[in-house]
Amino acid sequence: MKTIECDVVVVGAGPAGLAAAEAARLAGAERVLIVERDTRAGGILQQCIHPGFGLKMFGEELTGPEYAGRYQERADKAGVELMTCTTALELRDRELVCANSDGILNVRFGALVLAMGCRERTRANLVIPGARPSGIYTAGTAQKLINLYGDKVGREIVILGSGDIGMIMARRLTLEGAHVKAVVELLPFLAGLTRNKVQCLDDFGIPLLLSHTVIDIDGVDRLTSVTIAPVDEKRRPILDKAEKIPCDTLLLSVGLIPENELSRTGGIALSPITRGPLVNQFKQTSNPAVFACGNVLHVNDLVDHVSVESAEAGRCAALFAANRLPSASAFSTVAGPGIRYVCPQTVVADGGADVTLFFRTLVPGRRTVLRCVSGGKELARKTCIRTSPGTMESLVIPKDAVAALNDSIEVSCEHGEVLA
Ligand SMILES: Cc1cc2nc3c(=O)[nH]c(=O)nc-3n(C[C@H](O)[C@H](O)[C@H](O)COP(=O)(O)OP(=O)(O)OC[C@H]3O[C@@H](n4cnc5c(N)ncnc54)[C@H](O)[C@@H]3O)c2cc1C
């Protein structure tokens, strides 16, 4: 069995892994290796050929492959090693077990960064009743089939879920000549970004049916129709208002789940809400030598956020490998009124830098005040014209306040007007 030694090993060469690896090298780690199971770097961005990436990071509108390409160049330039076609199978104490066509490979590390991304929820996760014909895809699978393999997935389409990937696919399929009959959303509000509703649904006249769901699926070999129904306030279908929509394709855009099988093998503590590892502001998990970033940590709306967060994870992993990462008392972050979750889940009272708390609100609203408070003292506050659960929000705690922490930090949200 072959063994490799490195200062920092990164699992996954998506935008998170590339940014983390580059930052680890720039922070002084000598040997930085990315292990990637795919044939090339780029992660999910390889199939996202639409523009809209990099507005914050590069001040331009890039496609997914262009954005990933820029980060790959930066990682190459920084001297990062990339091992493709290699899957990380098991995490042991300071050792990662991988497999590729040469057999089993052990990678011994000073620090490890988990950057495995996420996977889509499927029909099995939702338990939609009905027949089991072909023609039912997750939105990401349909995106891959169309954008990478040139397949036409269907002609008459219904999309369940108003997540960003579903809305982007509504536009993509329309441009390919398909007829998208409706985007059906269980919640009374949009799950994805408003900008995607405007650019992908409104601009193409695609109806969005809020507070509706799919209750039945028909078809023998191929899908022939789905039955949709409005839902009441407890999300129960109102059956006497059900309606059959003839279609040959159903796309599911119903959420992403962090890819955490590897984290489980290493006994990393996971959050029941984000389903990613619990971390402090250094992105350090319950195993101090293991860091996590990108969609494996919590599902991000914009890749630009992923790059910033992942660079911090890589930098801190390099410091840990060199025994230079500070350790001090850590205080919990708490999702207070109106907040679904906060990441990181703990903050170490080290005043070396400002700390950004990322979080999502529970319902959409206008004139929203976001606050974070610790020991009765307000540490940060922001007023937003509009907020929605589809958009990641953030508050920055100044470094002096971080150094002075002596209690948990509660993040809360108060809407001037609730829009749900
Ligand atoms: C289908 C889909 C479409 C999306 N479209 C958009 C969009 O249009 N715009 C946008 O801003 N965001 C989009 N996103 C969100 C996007 O995922 C993030 O912005 C960003 O790409 C996340 O980066 P990541 O590096 O964390 O994950 P990924 O890009 O998913 O990269 C993870 C990498 O880890 C590798 N990996 C996983 N497990 C292992 C293992 N055990 N061993 C070795 N390698 C492993 C994978 O092969 C992959 O290359 C989309 C997400 C999905 C799932």
Single residue among 254, 271, 292 that ends a domain in this structure: 254
**Domain residues for 234?**
122-254
Residue 36: CB within 6 Å of ligand 1? yes
Same domain (yes/no): 161, 142: yes
Single residue among 254, 282, 317 that ends a domain in this structure: 254
**Would strands 256-258 and 118-120 be described as parallel, antiparallel, or unpaired?**
antiparallel
Confidence of residue 328 (pLDDT cuts 50, 70, 90): confident
- Give the bridge partners for 179, in sequence order: 156
Find the 124 Cα to ligand 1 centroid distance in Å.
21
- pLDDT of residue 52 exceeding 90, the answer is no
Mean pLDDT of 371-394: 95
Same domain (yes/no): 402, 375: yes
What percent of the chain has pLDDT above 90?
A: 90
Lowest mean pLDDT among 131-140, 176-185, 299-308: 299-308
pLDDT score, position 193: 87
Lowest mean pLDDT among 28-32, 52-56, 401-405: 52-56
Same domain (yes/no): 54, 105: yes
Same domain (yes/no): 105, 170: no
pLDDT tens profile 234-281: 999 999 999 999 999 999 999 999 999 999 999 999 999 999 999 999
Residue 43: CB within 6 Å of ligand 1? yes
Same domain (yes/no): 105, 142: no
- pLDDT of residue 362 exceeding 90, the answer is yes
Mean pLDDT of 371-391: 95
Same domain (yes/no): 131, 71: no
Same domain (yes/no): 401, 382: yes
Domain count, the chain: 3
Find the 52 Cα to ligand 1 centroid distance in Å.
16
- What does the block give as tokens for 16? 């998170």
Of 130, 89, 358, 93, nearest in space to 242 by CA: 130
C-beta of residue 378 within 8 angstroms of C-beta of residue 401: no
pLDDT score, position 123: 85
Q: Which atom in ligand 1 lies closest to the alpha carbon of residue 35?
A: 43
- Between CA 43 and CA 39 the distance in angstroms is 10
Residue 256: CB within 6 Å of ligand 1? yes
Burial category of 139 from C-beta neighbours within 10 Å (exposed 0-12, middle 13-18, buried 19 and up): buried
Find the 294 Cα to ligand 1 centroid distance in Å.
8
Same domain (yes/no): 130, 248: yes
Tally of CB atoms within 10 A around 234? 5
Q: What is the CATH number of the domain that holds 210?
A: 3.50.50.60
Same domain (yes/no): 210, 278: no
pLDDT score, position 280: 96
pLDDT score, position 258: 95
Whole-number average pLDDT of the chain: 95
Same domain (yes/no): 231, 353: no
Q: What is the CATH number of the domain that holds 408?
A: 2.60.40
Same domain (yes/no): 209, 140: yes
Same domain (yes/no): 344, 246: no
Cα–Cα distances in angstroms (integers) from residue 75 to residues 22, 23, 45, 197, 383, in the given order: 5, 8, 16, 34, 37
Single residue among 229, 254, 279 that ends a domain in this structure: 254
pLDDT tens profile 71-122: 999 999 999 999 999 999 999 999 999 999 999 999 999 999 999 999 999 8
Burial category of 132 from C-beta neighbours within 10 Å (exposed 0-12, middle 13-18, buried 19 and up): exposed
Residue 48: CB within 6 Å of ligand 1? yes
On whether the pTM is more than 0.85, the answer is yes
